[in-house]
Amino acid sequence: MNIQECTDAIRAKVGDNSGLGAVLKFDCGSDGRIVVDGVSTPNTVDNHDRDADCTVAITLDNLNNLLSGKLDPVTGFMGGKFKVSGDMGIAMKLQRVI
C-alpha cells in the first residue's frame, strides 16, 4: 500500500472515536506522514504534518506489515522495526486500535 492507502486503512480502523485522546503521528520519512487526531470530535486521520503527542518513526513497508497483521506491535518495537518518541502510553493505546 502507498501512503494514501495506509491513511485510508488507519482512518477505517480509527473510526470516529479512537480512544487515544491525543495526537499520534506515523512518520514514514520521505514517503509521508499520517496523523491521527484523537482529540478532535470526530477523530480525524490525514497527511498534514504537525506536532504530535507521540510519533512513530516507521518505514512504509513496516507500516504495511503492521496494518496487515504481519508485524506484531510489541515485536516490531523490540526488534527496532520502528521507534516511538513522545508519550509511549499513546502508542500502547494505539495497539488495540490497529
Structural domains in the chain, CATH included, are 3-97 (3.30.1050.10)
- Reading the chain (98 residues) residue by residue, the pLDDT tens digits are 999 999 999 999 998 988 899 999 999 999 999 999 999 989 999 999 999 999 999 999 999 999 999 999 989 999 999 999 999 999 888 887 77
pLDDT of residue 29: 97
In angstroms, the CA 42 to CA 76 distance is: 29
pLDDT at 96: 76
Strand partners, 84: 56
Q: Extract the runs of DSSP E, i.e. beta strands, from 1-98.
A: 23-27, 33-37, 44-46, 54-58, 82-86
Look at residue 18 in the predicted model and tell me its pLDDT: 86
Q: What is the pTM of this model?
A: 0.93
